Amino acid sequence: MASKVSQTRLIFVYVTTPSEQIALEIAKAAINEKLGACANILPEMKSVYEWQGNLCEESETLLIIKTEASRYQDLEKKVLELHPHECPCIVALPIQDGHSKFLSWIEKQTS
C-alpha cells in the first residue's frame, strides 16, 4: 500500500533531449545535486511537432526523473542550464500511487 503523504508530494519529470549524452549529463547532475532520486533514459524515440512554422521530425531521447514536487523548480533550472534547446519539453506529472518503500526511498534521496 502506498504512503498517503507521498502520493501528492512526488512527481515524474518528463524531459526530451536531442541525444542520450545530454540526457545522461542532465540525469547525473540531477542525482548528484539531490534534485532527483532516479532517472530513466529511453533512447531513440521519434518526435513530430511544429516549431516556428515548420513541421519537424526528430529522434530524441526521453529522460524521466523521479523527485519530490518541492524540488521541481530547482530541477527545472538545472535542466534549462544543461539543455541545448531554446524551449525544451520539461513536464511534471504527479505520482498518484505506488509501492510505499519505493516512494519513501524517493523522499529520502531528495531531502
In the chain (111 residues long), the average pLDDT of successive 10-residue segments reads: 59 98 98 98 95 95 98 98 96 94 94 88
| Model pLDDT, residue 8 | 65
Q: Are 59 and 45 in contact (CB under 8 A)?
A: yes
| Model pLDDT, residue 6 | 46
- Whole-angstrom Cα Rg for the chain: 15
**In whole angstroms, what is the distance from residue 10 CA to residue 100 CA?**
12
User: H or E element: which one contains 52?
Assistant: none
